[in-house]
Amino acid sequence: MAVELPNGTGECGHTLHTDDRGRIPCISIYLGRELQLSMIVVLQARWRLFGHVLRREPSIPANKAMAFYFHDNAKRARGRPIATFPMTLNNDLKILQNRSTSLTCTSQKDLETLRKIAERRQEWITFTADIKKAAEAARSDDTPSGRP
């Protein structure tokens, strides 16, 4: 089924296709116009910021906070864990872990490993590009078969 806009086509010159309920899947709009998903843009910005923080000296507040977060004696609150920056980074790494690497972001040792990678900028750029590709591949794996 195809839905036509008032001028007959979408801005890109293509007719937008819908599923059987008459809805336009968001992924088809992104793919048809070669736009990046906002999730991927945020992921890239998050890892760029993290690399910047890791390359800075250990005395800045952001690095002190990361060291405190991974301190073993820190008492955790009861209930559902609060979504934190290190937890989000670890979730990003889980996507990559399924594909190629065994890196995590769960301890001070993992933080130091990531810091060593971040110090070598070209290796960090390659590493973050791999995370982006893995996230895009995981996103495309989630789309139903037969549809973009």
Q: Which of 18, 40, 45, 21 is nearest to 29 (CA)?
A: 18
Does residue 148 lie within any of the structural domains?
Answer: no
On whether both 55 and 95 belong to a single domain, the answer is yes
On whether both 93 and 112 belong to a single domain, the answer is yes
On whether both 28 and 68 belong to a single domain, the answer is no
Q: In a 3-state reduction of DSSP, which class is residue 90?
A: helix
Does residue 76 lie within any of the structural domains?
Answer: yes
Confidence of residue 28 (pLDDT cuts 50, 70, 90): low
95 is in which domain, residue-wise?
Answer: 38-142
Does residue 147 lie within any of the structural domains?
Answer: no
Helices (H), the chain: 26-32, 38-55, 61-69, 85-97, 108-119, 121-142
On whether both 15 and 53 belong to a single domain, the answer is no
Confidence of residue 134 (pLDDT cuts 50, 70, 90): confident
Between CA 144 and CA 148 the distance in angstroms is 8
pTM for the full predicted model: 0.65
Say what the pLDDT of residue 95 is: 82
